[in-house]
Structure 1
Amino acid sequence: MRAWAFSGKHEKRLLDDLLRNYNNLERPTRNETETVVVKLGLTLQQIIDVDEKNQILTTNVWLNLEWTDHNLQWNESDYGGVSDLRIHPKYVWTPDILMYNSADELFLSTYPTNVVVEDSGKCTHIPPGIFMSTCKIDITWYPFDDQYCDMKFGSWTYDESKVRHHLVPLRRPVL
Structure 2
Amino acid sequence: MNTPSLFAANLAEHLQLFQQMGPLDTAVARAGTLIADALRADGKLLSCGNGGSAADSQHIASELTGRFINERKPLAAISLTTDSSALTCIGNDYSFDEVFARQLRALGRPGDALLAISTSGNSANVVQAARAARDAGIRVVGLLGRDGGQLKALSDVAIVVPSPVTARIQEAHILIIHTLCGLIEQQLGLT
TM-score, normalising length: structure 2 = 0.24
Point out the structure with the larger helix share: 2
Name which one, 1 or 2, has greater alpha-carbon Rg.
1
Q: How does the TM-score come out when normalised to structure 1?
A: 0.25
